[in-house]
A and B are shown apart, each in its own frame.
Chain A
Amino acid sequence: SQQGEEDPQALSIQEGENATMNCSYKTSINNLQWYRQNSGRGLVHLILIRSNEREKHSGRLRVTLDTSKKSSSLLITASRAADTASYFCATDAISGSNYKLTFGKGTLLTVNP
């Protein structure tokens, strides 16, 4: 079952613009992670934000987490054509006696040169 739901499902922007993707989830989480996937390739970890953190930066990436609203956003600034990929949020939550990392269906980002 999907825990995180990304919004929008697809986003098309011009190079140099900023891209914002949102993720909503349903249950309490331990952490939230964002991954990137180029078409048909393996996923690559971008950033992890813990449940007690509100904002995190990594290069051109900025992630926010609002646990009261059960939502997160990923901002990519000054986008490049090479940023074209699918972006997934993944929520780490306790399930029974173990943690499970559950992925959303992703946002397909297209950056036009």
Chain B
Amino acid sequence: DSGVTQTPKHLITATGQRVTLRCSPRSGDLSVYWYQQSLDQGLQFLIQYYNGEERAKGNILERFSAQQFPDLHSELNLSSLELGDSALYFCASSQGVAGGTGELFFGEGSRLTVL
């Protein structure tokens, strides 16, 4: 058990809909990362937050947004969903020390299926 909790584990929805994925980081970790894993694209970095503020942005679509709340949990919002958004979405957390990325602790992921 990594200590990172993601909900929901599975989600099935229709094209055009909006969903919210939730992540609770490991106790004491200030950084939260979101990754998308699909068969064709592999594991793609979406976005990172540190103590409530956006720190780094990757290949995140404009239809997607995220935030980290004062209690450090994070949410990833996916809107106007398309078939190609079907993927496994991972949240990871780390202590977030300066000078680079250390060991990440991953949740079990949220599997999104868009029909």
Identify the A interface with B (CB < 8 A).
Answer: 1-2, 30-31, 33, 35, 40-45, 48, 88, 92, 95-96, 98-106
B42 touches A42 (CB 8 A): no
B28 contacts A by Cβ under 8 Å: no
The dominant DSSP class at the A interface is strand
Q: A40-B111, A42-B109 are in contact. List 7 more A-B contacts (CB 8 A).
A: A40-B109, A43-B90, A88-B43, A99-B100, A103-B45, A105-B43, A106-B43
CB distance from B100 to the nearest CB of A (A): 4
A95 partner, pick from B33, B56, B106, beta carbons under 8 A: B56
Given known pairs A40-B88, A42-B109, A43-B90, the reply for A2 and B102 (CB within 8 Å) is no
Chain B min CB distance to A112 (Å): 24
**Which chain A residue shows the least CB distance to B58?**
A100
Identify 5 residue pairs between A and B in the complex whose beta-carbon atoms are under 8 Å apart, listed by A's number.
A33-B103, A41-B108, A95-B56, A96-B56, A101-B104
B105 touches which one: A45, A48, A100, A103 (CB < 8 A)? A45
C-alpha gap A70/B30 in the complex (Å):
31
CA distance A2 to B38 in the complex (A): 13
Q: How far is the CA of A87 from the CA of B4 in the complex (A)?
A: 20
Interface residue count for B (Cβ, 8 Å)? 27
Closest to B105 in A: A45
Q: State the Cβ distance, A111 to closest chain B Cβ, in Å.
A: 22
A95 to B48, CA, bound (A): 13
CB of B101 within 8 A of CB of A43, answer no
**Bound Cα distance A42, B33 (Å):** 13
Cα separation A36 to B56 with both chains bound (whole Å): 24
> B residues within 8 A CB of A42?
2, 4, 90, 106-109
Contacts of A88 in B (CB 8 A): 43
Closest to B42 in A: A105
Shortest beta-carbon distance, A30 to chain B, in Å? Answer: 4
In the complex, chain B residues whose CB is within 8 Å of the CB of A41:
108-109
Q: Is B45 touching A102 in the complex (CB atoms < 8 A)?
A: yes
